[in-house]
C-alpha cells in the first residue's frame, strides 16, 4: 500500500510496474484503476510486481516471520 500511495499518479504507477517486470497491458490496467490501494492489492499485476520476495529484498520486515520466531 505504501508503494502504491507513494507513486500517486497513474502514469508513475504504470512506469513503475513496467520497471518491475509487469507486461504493458497489465501495468496500464493496474495503473488506471480507480480502486483504492488496499482493494487494488488483489490485482494480479500488482501482486506480481510487489511480491513478498521483492518487499523482502527492499529490506522490509514481514510481521508473520517475526511472530513465528
Confidence (pLDDT) at 69:
60
Confidence (pLDDT) at 64:
81
Q: What is the pLDDT of residues 11-63, one digit of tens each?
A: 999 999 999 999 999 999 999 999 999 999 899 999 999 998 999 999 988 88
Region of 22 (left: φ > 0; alpha: ψ -120 to 50; beta: rest) is beta
Cα–Cα distance between 55 and 50 in angstroms, integer? Answer: 7
Radius of gyration of the chain (CA): 13
Cβ-count burial 31-64 (b if 16+ within 10 Å, e if not): beeeeeeeebeeeebbebbbeeeeeeeeeeeeee
Amino acid at each position: 500500500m505504501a508503494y502504491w500511495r507513494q507513486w500517486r499518479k497513474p502514469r508513475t504507477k504504470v512506469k513503475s510496474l513496467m520497471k518491475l517486470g509487469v507486461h504493458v497491458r497489465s501495468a496500464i490496467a493496474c495503473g488506471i484503476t480507480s480502486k483504492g490501494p488496499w482493494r487494488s492489492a488483489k490485482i494480479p499485476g500488482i501482486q506480481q510486481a510487489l511480491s513478498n520476495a521483492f518487499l523482502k529484498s527492499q529490506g522490509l520486515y514481514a510481521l508473520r516471520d517475526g511472530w513465528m520466531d
